[in-house]
Amino acid sequence: MAAITPSTQNSLAAQYFPDEPARPIVRSAFPGPKSLARLGTLDEVFDTRAAYLVADYEKSVGNYLVDVDGNVFLDLYAQIASIPLGYNNPVLQDAARSNEMIDALVNRPALGNFPSAQWESILRQGILAAAPKGLDQVWTALSGSDANECAYKAAFIYHRQKQRGDRDVDFSDLEKESTLLNSEPGSPDLAILSFERGFHGRLFGSLSTTRSNYVHKVDIPAFKWPRAPFPSLKYPLEHHVEENRREEDASLAAIETILREWRHRIAAAVVEPIQSEGGDNHATPYFFQKLRQLTKKYDVLLIVDEVQTGVAASGKFWAHEHWDLSTPPDIVTFSKKFQAAGYFYGNPELRPNKPFRQFNTWCGDPSKAIIARAIVQEVKAHHLEKRAQHVGDYLYERLSKLQSQYPEKIANLRGKGTGTFLAWDVPGGSEARNKFLKDLKGVGLNVGGCGVNSVRLRPSKY
């Protein structure tokens, strides 16, 4: 492959988005009067308190998001790290216009009972064509939260099957009766280990493993599952090797204590390769290699939540590929930039021993898997994981210079070597950070926040 340079990067974007603007265009204050008016009427029937603006997606193109006031924002956040290949990508539009898509939408199948004749090829040519090494099966879901929920269920079922010692053994009468009362032994006290500052979704199981922000969890009943410390590293990582190693070793020691002494059986540990919503927090490959060893030692499944980090954004298709593990994770969940959602696994014992145990009406959505197939093919055809690394290196270098010039504005720049996963802290706390994000939108830049006072970028790979 030829070297990737800014000119080749731009030429690829020009092929797909010849009408893409050259720069942001600001036509009104932010938010604009038309957005405010639209949000006011929409709020009568739909809660809009988290909305920033009202978008005009027909006019949005490539890396630029257009609102109803005609403001043109350079989208450095890809909505919520969820736009895979730019706005109105022609390849995805072609997939959406296909007869195959019409069939998937008009005759949306209840996949568990009535899979379509095309479903296997859609999976094999798309989602499974990008499966992490060693994980050759998939269960599709409806969202990132649902993907994690289903992964947790798979982990619990797997451990109970192992305890029974025979996949074909039926449940006891006591199990059948007690589970309908939410009691043991049918409803056992098993647990999922998660990490402080982690985010895994907003459904009941996934919310119990989310530790990033109280606003997600207050008033919601939660499983009493363990929380482990995630290492708090200093950046740049290469300048703090010894102290970061001590921090990671301390976290690993605490994790082992929890795995050994927790009052209930821990079925799985779930971890993000880069803690995203919780602050774009990194750990080194050493930490994850040792975590994998601990999960093996204590017979605990390792679930890697790649909902935000997956699909070429980190410089590799899956961010956990940076870890160079000796054995793959047991389960990898996905959503966001894949548009489709679900989890990969390799061990056939992770397939429940009876039908209907991992099941709902839709079990995913073929229309989303068709889009996912087009995304996979585009990533592979244009080596977009390498392009993401190039974009990230370019931005990191320039942000590093800005940090040197303005240390009172940019602190703890991080993400070197991890593609477009770039972040920094705004000194002054959340209020200063939130003002900064609003000021950026005022000059036509859509950028995201995370953690207490962090700013994160997730620019497109084109």
Domains recognised in the chain with CATH numbers: 6-44+54-73+80-84+383-457 (3.90.1150.10), 101-381 (3.40.640.10)
Q: Are 315 and 386 in contact (CB under 8 A)?
A: yes
Active site residue 305: yes
For the chain, counts of helices (H) and of strands (E): 14, 14
3-class DSSP state for residue 337?
Answer: helix
Which of 305, 330, 365, 425 is the catalytic position? Answer: 305
The yes-or-no answer on residue 199 being catalytic is yes
The predicted pLDDT at position 10 comes to 62
pLDDT of residue 2: 40
Whether the CB-CB separation of 53 and 437 falls below 8 Å is answered with: no
**Which phi and psi angles does 43 have, rounded to 5°?**
-65, -15
- Spatial CB neighbours of 133, under 8 Å, sequence gap ≥ 6: 321, 328
CB 308 within 8 A of CB 341: no
In this structure, the chain runs to a length of 462
Residues 6+ apart with CB under 8 A from 242: none
8 tagged catalytic: no
pLDDT at 23: 96
Other CB atoms within a 10 A radius of the CB of residue 352 amount to 18
Residues of the chain with pLDDT under 70: 1-11
For residue 288, what are the contacts with CB-CB under 8 A and spacing of at least 6? 271, 273, 320, 323, 325
* Marked catalytic residue, from 156, 195, 199, 421: 199
The reported pLDDT for the residue numbered 13 is: 81
The active-site residue, picked from 8, 41, 327, 361, is 361
- The yes-or-no answer on residue 436 being catalytic is no
For residue 168, the model assigns a pLDDT of 83
Q: Which of 316, 336, 368, 416 is catalytic?
A: 336
Distance from C-alpha of 149 to C-alpha of 263, rounded to nearest angstrom = 22
Measured CA to CA in angstroms, residue 31 lies from 43, 76, 85, 108, 216 at distances of 15, 18, 26, 38, 25
Pairing of strands 137-141, 190-195: unpaired
> Whole-prediction pTM value?
0.96
